A and B are shown apart, each in its own frame.
Chain A
């Protein structure tokens, strides 16, 4: 164990919060689909991976980076809508367990298609400021880490505005609260579920786009990203989008500190351990409300 070093610890912590912002965005995606369908969407992590892979492919094909990133974002949102249309909309009775199982199929399919079309090699592209470091006193962190955190906050703020201020946001909240009652006030509930899939995919895509310059991405990384995001959502309370983001940041910070203080081999285990602790002690999450079964 290294000697205590405050500067290094802060640096590690900021890096961890950066990872946590990614987990939080992925967790946000889990939360959005959980709220609208009651299901756990196992394709969420694949959407993160797809965004990074698609943007990297665009970059390799000499597209300007903003164009490649925007195209990847649109592509992934479209894949989210398509996943709903093909996998979920046709179900006669879209029970949560059934939707969850369908999402596993979508995840495996997405991963396979990416492997076949974009290859097995890790891909990437430079960050907005390249490999520049930002110095704050003795602490220096990659500029891209701050971009990751900013992107997460911006997405959350935009989503909050959408939910609080817009007509469609109100309709999304009403559909999530009570689908039958939403249908009775004239809300097209299925379209709202489809819209949730698009938003969840977009959240995953933003995560994938900003993290790829830091870590590179390959076709098989979606599963672990998905699991981290799911842990984040469970930690914060999967029914609460903001809770999921907070859960992600807590998870990222704990991961970073434990791998710094104990061992980096321990890093991925943190999410598993936290996940189990939450299931045992607080199944509705740190920030979620306990919800009873409606009769």
Chain B
């Protein structure tokens, strides 16, 4: 479904990604692991169109989206929940959800999806008129995921959903992600917390020095001591 070939991207004169290849099949949940600075966020930003690709191709269902802007990629079905949540301050929870469906016109389906995401995150339903910036870190993460789901994506990109979130809430959020995966949503999850990520993802890829170093089933990656020592920090 999502095919990435030889992707190169970076900032200034330095390439962070130096030829990244990755396949995510339909209804698959893949986690992208790697140390701090390995290029996880760069990968996510390049996939969402926030950062131009310097080389390689990104295809969604065979369609080349490498040169498309973020809005066109979203329309094609690629939605990113960015690192650090980035909910809209000054907009209420319900406005944040409404703006998530900015590109859609089907009112009936939008309000059905809103009910659906609020059922997924009941804590948001209690805070509909609250300014998004006053939510806790965990609630903001839920809102960021809910906002992305409001675009009715075909592939959901999640960048470090555990960052800055209380551990007990992280478990909640990962349970929800696992539920989305089980319902057949295609997910690429970049995460530093390898243990949690490998639990929800069916397979994983380890990013090192701007390319995929190891790719395999989650159970295999969890069990492989060399992988654990080299990339996952014990």
Contact = CB atoms under 8 A, between A and B. Distances in A.
Nearest to B104: A186
Contact of B151 (A171, A174, A185): A185
Contacts of B71: 183, 186-188
Nearest to B49: A183
Between A174, A183, A185, A188, the greatest number of chain B beta carbons within 10 A of the residue's beta carbon is seen for A185
A178 B91 CA distance: 11
A173 interface: yes
Given A184-B50, A186-B151, A187-B71, A178 B79 contact: no
A79 B78 CA distance: 37
B100 A185 contact: yes
Nearest to B69: A183
Contact of A185 (B49, B50, B69, B74): B74
B16 to A, nearest CB: 17
Which size bracket describes the interface of B in this complex? 20 to 34
B145 to A, nearest CB: 12
Contacts of B86: 178, 180-181, 184
A126 to B, nearest CB: 42
Interface string A169-203: 01101101110111111111000000000000000
A188 B95 CA distance: 18
A188 B68 CA distance: 13
Interface in B112-151: 147-148, 151
A116 B48 CA distance: 49
B205 to A, nearest CB: 23
Contacts of A182: 88, 99
Nearest to B71: A186
B91 A185 contact: no
Contacts of B91: 170, 173-174, 177
A181 B90 CA distance: 14
Interface string A111-131: 000000000000000000000
Between A170, A174, A187, A188, the greatest number of chain B beta carbons within 10 A of the residue's beta carbon is seen for A174
B102 A186 contact: yes
A149 to B, nearest CB: 28
B89 interface: yes
A186 B95 CA distance: 15
A62 to B, nearest CB: 47
B98 A170 contact: yes
Interface string B65-87: 00001110011000110100011
B103 interface: yes
Contact of B99 (A170, A176, A180): A170
A167 B107 CA distance: 13
B103 A186 contact: yes
Interface of A: 167, 170-171, 173-174, 176-178, 180-188
Closest 5 CB pairs of A and B: A181-B86, A186-B103, A183-B70, A186-B71, A186-B74
Interface of B: 48-50, 69-71, 74-75, 79-80, 82, 86-91, 95, 98-100, 102-103, 147-148, 151
